[in-house]
């Protein structure tokens, strides 16, 4: 399941610094591109533990794409970026919670409001344009667009309707930003690590009311962390009271927000992590590997990660009766190790 995160925010909020820290890209890697795009591996120690046991020819983690959107003086959504950000799975708004030598004061709540206002105005143009230009508009779509027009024109993000899956499908071709899952990152100073400081606390309160996850990250520290080798990272993180990198914390939060989980395939050729929806049944998870596996699904051999690690091998797991055979109705759990049997 492809996952892409559009990093947005005001100019000088630290978007690009965070982007480089998350993707381990240097300034030279991203220069010259209008919208830098990079793919990062999802940190998951379970995959590497499996690789230690299976000793595969190849180990492949799950991935997430990050898109660094150009910022502006009043918004992080410039006209050149809108078409790109509409393709993102999730929007991440970076809000400045540190003092800047060339900017006056720190006002994270005003910055967040500015971002949300631009987001709504951008969608309002799309909705109004669709209502005005469409000669033969489906009645259901017209009703949904009219329901959106008022809160968008009022700039009230809290009043955006909660559409069901069918309604969202009707509106999906418009790529409306206000309907995308959102996340807020408070870009704090290193002095406010690890708790986050007063500005983060202010943002948390507002985000909690909107049911939007909020995470405190010091982009400058994370950028320094990205330049270190593995042997140095643990000591560096300990100095700042950090137990996990920003990438791990951010992706975990994204997975929870989007209702995603990880399952594995493991063998001598490859150990690989895959992403699927929470609640996905075995054939749907098989489809993440290849459409043929979903189409020709017969059964799945399944063992959960903790049980496998206790056994140490599939042979021992089979002897103990812990390697199960499941059918089409099996609901995949986070950490499951699957071997799909299929026939096309």
Q: What is the DSSP letter of 332?
A: P
DSSP annotation of 281: B
Would the pLDDT of 133 be above 90?
no
Q: Which residues contact 234 (CB under 8 A, 6 or more apart)?
A: none
- The mean of the pLDDT values for the chain is 90
In this prediction, residue 28 has a pLDDT band, given cuts at 50, 70 and 90, of: very low
pLDDT digits (tens, 9 = 90+) for 292-339: 999 999 999 999 999 999 999 999 999 999 999 999 999 999 999 999
Q: pLDDT at residue 244 above 60?
A: yes
Per residue in 71-96, pLDDT (tens digit) is: 655 444 555 567 778 889 999 999 99
Instruction: Compute the distance between CA of residue 260 and CA of residue 251 in angstroms, rounded to an integer.
Output: 10
Point out the least confidently predicted range of 60-64, 227-231, 328-332: 227-231
Reply yes or no on whether the pLDDT at 30 is more than 60: no
Q: Which long-range contacts (CB under 8 A, 24 or more apart) does 103-112 make?
A: 103/12, 106/199, 108/186, 108/199, 108/202, 108/203, 109/202, 109/203, 109/206, 111/9, 111/10, 111/13, 112/184, 112/203, 112/206
- What's this model's pTM, rounded to 2 decimal places? 0.89
CA distance 159 to 2: 29
Q: Measuring CA to CA, which residue among 91, 118, 82 is closest to residue 184?
A: 91
Do residues 12 and 97 make contact, with C-beta atoms less than 8 angstroms apart? no
Question: d(Cα 247, Cα 257) in Å, to the nearest integer?
Answer: 15
Q: Count of H helices and E strands in the chain?
A: 15, 12
HSE of 259, CA atoms in CB hemisphere, 13 A = 6
| 3 state DSSP class of 106 | coil
Domains and their CATH numbers in the chain? 4-45+61-256 (3.40.50.300), 279-342 (3.10.20.30)
Q: Are 211 and 204 in contact (CB under 8 A)?
A: no
Q: What is the pLDDT of residues 154-211, one digit of tens each?
A: 988 889 999 999 999 999 989 999 999 999 999 999 999 999 999 999 999 999 998 9
pLDDT of residue 72: 53
Contact indicator for 91, 185 with CB cutoff of 8 Å: no
Give the separation between CA 166 and CA 147, rounded to whole angstroms: 15
């Amino acid at each position: 399941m492809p996952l892409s995160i559009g990093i947005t925010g005001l100019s000088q909020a630290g978007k690009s610094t965070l982007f480089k820290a998350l993707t381990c890209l240097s300034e030279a890697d991203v220069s010259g591109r209008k919208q830098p795009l990079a793919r990062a591996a999802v940190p998951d120690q379970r995959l590497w533990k499996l690789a230690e046991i299976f000793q595969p020819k190849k180990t492949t983690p799950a991935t997430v794409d990050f898109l660094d959107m150009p910022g502006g003086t009043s918004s992080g959504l410039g006209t050149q970026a809108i078409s790109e950000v509409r393709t993102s799975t999730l929007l991440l708004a970076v809000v400045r919670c540190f003092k800047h030598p060339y900017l006056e004061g720190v006002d994270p709540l005003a910055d967040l409001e500015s971002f949300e206002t631009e987001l709504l105005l951008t969608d309002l143009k799309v909705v109004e344009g669709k209502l005005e230009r469409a000669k033969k508009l489906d009645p259901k779509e017209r009703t949904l667009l009219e329901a959106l027009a008022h809160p968008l024109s009022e700039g009230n993000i809290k009043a955006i309707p909660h559409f069901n899956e069918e309604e969202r499908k009707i509106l999906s071709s418009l790529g409306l930003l206000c309907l995308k899952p959102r996340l807020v990152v408070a870009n704090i100073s290193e002095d406010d690590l690890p708790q986050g400081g007063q500005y983060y606390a202010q943002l948390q309160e507002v985000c909690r009311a909107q049911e939007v996850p909020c995470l405190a990250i010091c982009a400058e520290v994370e950028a320094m962390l990205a330049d270190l080798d593995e042997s140095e990272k643990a000591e560096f993180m300990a100095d700042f009271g950090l137990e996990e990198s920003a990438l791990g914390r951010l992706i975990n939060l994204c997975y929870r927000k989007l209702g995603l989980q990880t399952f594995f395939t493991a063998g001598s050729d490859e150990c690989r992590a895959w992403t699927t929806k929470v609640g996905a049944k075995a054939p749907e998870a098989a489809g993440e590997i290849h459409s043929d596996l979903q189409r020709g699904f017969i059964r799945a051999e399944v063992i959960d990660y903790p049980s496998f690690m206790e056994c140490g091998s599939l042979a021992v797991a089979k002897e103990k009766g812990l390697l199960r055979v499941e059918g089409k109705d099996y609901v995949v759990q986070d950490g499951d190790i699957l071997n799909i049997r299929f026939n096309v």
